[in-house]
Amino acid sequence: MAHEAAIAALSAAFGDQCVTTDAVRDHHARGEAHHTPVRPDAVVFVTSTEEVAKAMQICSAHGCPIVPFGVGTSMEGHVVPLRGGVSLDLSKMDKILSVHPEDLDVVVQPGVTRRRLNEELRDTGLFFPVDPGADASIGGMTATRASGTNAVRYGTMRECVLALEVVLADGRVIRTGTRARKSSAGYDLTKLMIGSEGTLGIITEITLRLFGQPEAVSSGVCTFDSIEGAVDAVIMTIQSGLPVARIEFLDELQVRAVAAYSKLDLAEKPTLFLEFHGTDAGVAEQSERFGEIAAEFGGGAFEWATKTEDRNRLWRARHDAYYACRALRPGSQGYITDACVPISRLAEAILETKKDIADSGMIAPIVGHVGDGNFHLAIMIDPEDAGELKAAEALAHRIAERALEMGGTVTGEHGVGLGKMKYMEAEHGDGYSVMADIKRALDPQNLLNPGKVVQIN
């Protein structure tokens, strides 16, 4: 076994919290999507900041790689332990430490999942809005700078995290930020850690912003005759400052997949799922204004989901879109890619992507948090077929290049992991070498999730 001395020391320190069975190592060898799995030598299940610091110190003393693991739903091979070593599982650090309704914030451990957090908050009248499709951990969401359907109104993890506790590669435990809403006090280490994908430190505590549950909510579905019409309606909605809470695009193939998987009665046409939050009067006014915009761009009648259970069904179906895609081609695996462009370029980006998909002959539904200019492709491939993998890579490459040409980014929310590293120089220019300097300064032995985001040796 590689890293034998480190694993022996971890076993001595952690007893049966340090696991080397094949089943557990296999579970920690990969995230979602298509990347080739690599087994860690051991998985250590931690329950406190002190234990995280202890594991880090042992790994540091033995030069053993350590890859933080939330619940493993990331899409770009983030959790694959490329150089073996330890997968540090934080899912048992799942306490909600303190809720401060008067300040609209909450302090949690990283293993709390987003759904559980909202269940626990329900009676406070508050909620946490960031909602990736999977029931991800707050630690993983912070580490990937995740977002979701609500980001157009409430922001992403970048806007919703106020402060962190982080264990550094040398075992030091630091605090970044405070519960104050703003600060001009020095470098923003909180933002540096958000999106660092386990490469700069291990997040052990997170202070999150909360929001009041809206007094009134209305959701619905609007179909269009063309993709152009649907996306132009989105662009106009955003440009006119309508404070829509959710505005999600599904192309006709994605609608077919979602309707079949979630048993919804939907016309197979380019479709928007929408939601408005506010007072009764505010929501009525927003819906009416959106109706006018939609009509201008060829939108059909708006179908409302008025009952809470219908609304929940609709959004659950949207969150399950990836699994619906997999059901389109049983046995397939998703080669997932996401890109984000300035809103004015969105229609062009999606229409050209549609042409690319047609040329490739692949099954690749499009879905997106289009209010942010963000869209995703789930290219459904046979993971055993090298030719299909290559074709999917070529398709994803065109989308990434086009996003950069349009002044956008190669990933709006899924992150870099392994899959998007090849674009980092093109996106960041000299800034990428500054990222490498930061990595060297904070993790000189390159032990924290090595080989991700930035390569230093």
Q: Is 450 in the site for ligand FAD (CB under 6 A)?
A: no
Q: How far is the CB of 93 from ligand FAD (least distance, A)?
A: 8
In angstroms, what is the minimal distance from the CB of 402 to ligand FAD?
21
Give min distance, CB of 131 to ligand FAD, in A: 7
Taking the complex as a whole, how short is the minimal distance between the CB of residue 391 and ligand FAD, in angstroms?
22
Residues 6 or more apart whose CB falls under 8 angstroms from that of 254 comprise 321, 324, 325, 365, 366, 367
DSSP 200-264: S-EEEEEEEE-EEPPSEEEEEEEEESSHHHHHHHHHHHHHTT---SEEEEE-HHHHHHHHHHHT-
Is 69 an interacting residue with respect to ligand FAD (CB under 6 A)?
A: yes
DSSP states along 125-189: TEE-----SS--BHHHHHHHT---TTHHHH--HHHHEEEEEEE-TTS-EEEE--SSS---SSS-H
Q: If binding is defined by CB under 6 A, does position 237 make contact with ligand FAD? A: no
Query: x-or-dash pattern for ligand FAD, window 297-336, by CB under 6 A?
Result: -------------------------x--------------
Rg (CA), the chain: 22
Residues 247 and 272: beta-carbon distance below 8 Å: yes
Q: How far is the CB of 238 from ligand FAD (least distance, A)?
A: 18
Among residues 84 and 198, whose Cβ is nearest to ligand FAD? 198
By CB under 6 A, tell whether 367 contacts ligand FAD.
Answer: no
Is residue 74 at the binding interface for ligand FAD, with CB under 6 A as the rule?
yes
Instruction: Candidates 3, 25, 32, 40: give the one binding ligand FAD (CB under 6 A).
Output: 32
Q: Does 197 bind ligand FAD (CB under 6 A)?
A: yes
Query: Is residue 128 within the footprint of ligand FAD (CB under 6 A)?
Result: no
The span from the CA of 426 to the CA of 401, in Å, is 9
Using the minimum distance from each CB to ligand FAD, give the nearer residue, 31 or 270.
31
Q: How far is the CB of 206 from ligand FAD (least distance, A)?
A: 8
Other CB atoms within 10 A of residue 23 CB: 7
- Contact 265/196 with Cβ under 8 angstroms? no
Asked if residues 332 and 111 have their Cβ atoms less than 8 Å apart, the reply is no
For ligand FAD, which residue of 6, 343, 449, 451 counts as binding (CB under 6 A)? Answer: 449
- The stretch near ligand FAD (CB under 6 A) out of 128-136, 285-293, 325-333, 340-348 is 128-136
- Rounded CA gap, 362 and 365, in Å? 9
Select the residue interacting with ligand FAD from 29, 90, 230, 317 (CB under 6 A).
90
CA atoms within 13 A on the CB side of 202: 35
Range in contact with ligand FAD (rule: CB under 6 A) among 6-14, 136-144, 223-231, 293-301: 136-144
Tokens of 373: 């200019």
Instruction: Single out the residue of 19, 44, 55, 71 in contact with ligand FAD (rule: CB under 6 A).
Output: 71
Residue 141 is a binding residue for ligand FAD (CB under 6 A): yes
What gap in Å lies between CA 225 and CA 230, rounded to an integer? 8
Closest to ligand FAD by CB, 126 or 325: 325
Residue ranges that bind ligand FAD, judged by CB under 6 A: 31-32, 67-75, 78-79, 90, 110, 132-134, 136-137, 139-141, 143-144, 146-148, 197-198, 202-203, 322, 413-414, 449
